[in-house]
Amino acid sequence: MVTKGDKAMTTTRYFDARQLFNCMPNYTAPDWSQYSALEIGAAFDNQGNTIGGQPFDAVGVFYSIYGRRWDGEAEVITDILVDGDALAIAGRLSRLSGLQVSLYRP
């Protein structure tokens, strides 16, 4: 389940591995035990360079779902073009992993 403000959001939409894990090798799920949580953040393209790690509510070109490692580092799991799809996919990844999802706000 993903929370946005005080609302809990759930989804039953179907997403395949290419949507769920498009930043992972061979579109395979990561080892979820290496993460403490999942986060959704915005990203921008700046003349061919990606500027990630932006707050979810920023107007990004695309959105990324990260696994937050136990050491505090983040690893991108998937990139999504539409914010509503990002929320739905994050909900699906949360159910698959058993991890909580938060909207990234530095």
Alpha-carbon dihedral sign for residues 46, 52, 58, 62: positive
Give residue 23's pLDDT: 93
> Is residue 12 very low, low, confident or very high in pLDDT (cuts 50, 70, 90)?
low
Q: Which letter, b or e, does each residue of 55-88 get, where b requires 16 or more Cβ atoms within 10 Å of its Cβ?
A: ebeeebebbbbbbbeeeeebebbbbbeebeebbb
Distance CA 43, CA 62 (A): 5
CB proximity list for 63: less than 8 A, separation 6 or greater: 40, 41, 42, 43, 56, 79, 80, 81, 82, 83, 86
pTM for the full predicted model: 0.80
CA 21 to chain centroid, in Å, comes to 10
Q: Tell me: the pLDDT tens digits for 30-81? A: 999 999 999 998 888 788 788 888 888 777 688 999 999 999 999 999 999 8
